Amino acid sequence: MRFRSDPASIRGSIVPVVTPFLSDGSVDLESIPRLVEWHLEQGAHGISVLGSTGEPSTQTVAERIAVMEAAAAAVSDRVPFVPGTGTTKLAETLELTAAAERLGADAVLVVSPYYSRPTQQGLYEWYAAVAREFPALPIILYNVPIRTAVDVAPATAARLARDFDNVVGIKETTKDFEHASLVLHACGSDFLVYSGIELLCYPMLVLGGAGHFSCVANYAPRPVAELYDAFVEGRHDDARRLHFDLHPLVELAFLETNPAPAKFAMAELGLIPSAHVRPPLAAVTAETRARVVELLRSSPHVALEPAAA
C-alpha cells in the first residue's frame, strides 16, 4: 500500500486485467500471478482487477475477494494496485472495499450502481457513503454510462471531490470527450482523470489526464504503457504514432462485447489457458475468431505462437 498515501502517483497504464476462468467456468486463480508478472515485465504502471473487463457482475463476493487476494499478492507493492469494488448493492460494495483495504489496495475503483439509474443526488449519496466508511482509502469514481445507464455529471464529481479528501479521481469510460473536459475543468488539476476509452487515452493525456485503464493492455501491454511514457517524456510524435498503431487492436477488443474478444486473443497468444466467459456473455463467433487472428497477425506489437497461428 505504499502508493495509498500518495494517490497522485497512481498514473500511467493501469491494466484492467481480465478474470481468467477455466473451461468449466471456475475462477483460474493460478493464472492471475502469471498475468500480473507478465504485465509488469511489459512495463505496466499499475494493476487493476474486477473492472468491467474482469466480469465482476458474474462473480460472487467470495470469488471477487479471492481474485483480489491473488492479484494483491502478485503485485506485492511494486506498482499501484487498484481493484474494482463496486456492485449494485451498497452492503456488498462496502464488504468488497473493506477487503481491498485490508489487502493493501492503493485505491479502489467504485462503479456507479448499475440498473437502478439513480439521480445525481443518489449517486452523490452512494459515493459519499463509501468515502465516509473508508476515510484513509483513495476512492476513484468509475463512470461508465454504457453499462450503468447513468452518467456521473461533472458537477457531481466536483462536489464529491470537494466534500471528501479521499475521492481523488474518476475513470471516464464515455466517448463524450466534452464531458471529460468538463470534469477536468470542474474538479481541478489535482483531480486524477483516467481514460477508459481506448482511442481517448492519448487525447485525455493532452487535456491533463493521469493515465488510462485500457482493455487492449491485456494482450498488448507494452505499447499501451509506452504511449504514456512517450507523452510524459515529451516524445509527442512517438505517442501519436502509438495511438494510431493501436487502432487495429482496439477494433479487436470490441468486435463483440468486451472481454470476450480480448480473452480469445489472450488464449491465442498463450497468456491464459481458456477463453471462457461467463453467461450472459458467450464465446465469440467463428467470424470474430478469424478476424481476431487476422488483427493479431497484422500488428507489430503482438506475436502469435506458431501453433496458434
The residues annotated with a catalytic role in the active site are: 142, 171
Read off the amino acid at residue 131: A
Consecutive H or E run containing 46: strand 46-49
The DSSP bridge partners found for residue 13 are: 212
Between CA 177 and CA 195 the distance in angstroms is 10
Between CA 115 and CA 17 the distance in angstroms is 24
Between CA 141 and CA 99 the distance in angstroms is 18
Between CA 123 and CA 150 the distance in angstroms is 9
Taking alpha carbons only, the member of 141, 126, 122, 61 closest to residue 95 is 61
Between CA 98 and CA 103 the distance in angstroms is 9
Taking alpha carbons only, the member of 201, 168, 260 closest to residue 13 is 201
Q: Say if CB 266 and CB 54 are below 8 A apart.
A: no
DSSP state of 81: B
Q: Say if CB 253 and CB 215 are below 8 A apart.
A: yes
**What's the gap between Cα 17 and its chain centre?**
7
C-alpha cell at 48: 487493476
Q: Say if CB 205 and CB 228 are below 8 A apart.
A: yes
